[in-house]
Homo-oligomer: A and B are copies of this chain.
Amino acid sequence: MSLPRGFPVAEYRERVARAQGAMAKAGLAALLLTTEPEVRYFSGYLTRFWESPTRPWFLVVPAAGDPVAVIPSIGAALMAITWVRDIRTWRAPDYDDDGVSLLAATLREIAGGGRIGLPMGHESHLRMPLADWARLQGEGLDFAPDNGLMRGLRAVKSEAEIAKVREICAIAGRAFARVPEIARAGVPLDEVFRRFQMLGLEEGADWVPYVAGASAAGGYADVISPAGPEPLARGDVLMLDTGMMRDGYFCDFDRNFTLGPAAPELRAAHARLIDATDAAAEIARPGTTAAELFHAMDRLLTGGKGSDAGRLGHGLGMQLTEGLSLIPQDHTVLEPGMVLTLEPGIEVAPGRILVHEEDIVIRNGAPEFLSPRYGREMVELEG
């Protein structure tokens, strides 16, 4: 039984109200947003058309009242079925003025002479040409960093958002459970990747934006590589990591499989990854910090010397990775409703790693696992 698509309008009104509360504190008269998840967060505007880099899209959140969309006319019909009522369009691409003057006029009307916040910090991008941004800055408007306002808003998910992540996690979980149908010794890795995406789609994913992984003896070199035509071989560890999407929300977790029986040191390493996940989950409660989750895992992975794998997890939601990072530097305090991944990695030999990943949501008390937990023993494929 799948969830209904989209959100009730009340969900968007609540997001806007939270934003406006934070904007009032920050002294912002408007918020200017340019990226897919930011525009969608307040509008519900969902399309894969963002794959085309050609046209800029803008959403303006005023200090009071509803958001205003300033978008290419090709998007007007789809935006009109969202709750956004004030939709201003231009025919893009326009080489002389690709929405800049329309946006400037809209910002002037909405912000008056007030400050206009934009995400400018870590992980943010401005999705418009730099030349147009320079032109916009010449319009006498007062732009300022949003100081993490958007990041903070998106970090805590509503129950309706959590339900969507839970749904896509279940879909990916069913796809992972069927990996023995498609992967065995002799099958080329790129064939496994293709078939795995097909399993995800068959199980209910709308699309599969992310698949990475590897198959190698004694661990793999990284976790971000595409697949080549090399066949799986007995003794390999096959890792598949996926970010599938349903109704605009991501899962992000991986699974390790062994082709035939695993070598003892690989079994032990994998068990330690699961133990590290458990150690983090044990303390993943409101009040704990992101850094504390890192250290809880790192103690088991390196004895506290600091993992070289970079971060050991991150926020998750409308993007494959968003918000906090499980690193020693990140002192974000966990709150109920935060969705994150636990992603311990371990070096099993020089340049050879194993990585495991699960998705959780912070609750009052123990966290809820959104991904179906994997056991300490890797599933064995026909080797």
Contact = CB atoms under 8 A, between A and B. Distances in A.
Nearest to A210: B51
Contact of A126 (B125, B145, B206, B321): B125
A321 B53 contact: yes
Given A74-B223, A78-B225, A209-B209, 4 more contacts: A77-B221, A77-B225, A93-B310, A208-B208
B121 A131 contact: yes
A92 B126 contact: no
Contact of A226 (B194, B198, B206): B206
A168 interface: no
A212 B48 CA distance: 7
A314 B206 CA distance: 26
Interface in A25-53: 46-49, 51-53
Contacts of A229: 5
B124 A73 contact: no
A205 B197 CA distance: 11
B75 A224 contact: yes
7 contacts: A53-B319, A54-B314, A77-B221, A77-B351, A98-B122, A197-B208, A198-B198
A374 interface: no
A377 interface: no
Interface stretch (A12-20, A322-330, A365-373): A322-330
Contacts of A243: 51
B124 A120 contact: no
Q: Could you say how many copies of this chain the assembly holds?
A: 2
Contacts of A221: 77
Contact of A320 (B52, B202, B329): B52
Contacts of A125: 53, 125-129
A35 to B, nearest CB: 8
Contacts of A128: 125
A1 interface: no
A310 B226 contact: no
A129 B118 contact: no
A325 B210 contact: no
A347 interface: no
Interface in A78-99: 78, 91-96, 98
A128 B194 CA distance: 31
A173 interface: no
B53 A330 contact: no
A368 B61 CA distance: 47
Interface string A198-214: 10011011111111100
A98 B124 CA distance: 12
A95 B228 contact: no
A136 B243 CA distance: 32
Contacts of A227: 206
A46 to B, nearest CB: 6
A194 to B, nearest CB: 5
Given A120-B131, A125-B125, A207 B198 contact: no
A380 interface: no
A363 interface: no
Given A74-B222, A209-B48, A123 B53 contact: yes
B91 A310 contact: yes
Contacts of A127: 125
A72 interface: yes
A176 interface: no
Contacts of A195: 201
Given A77-B221, A321-B54, A322-B53, A228 B124 contact: no
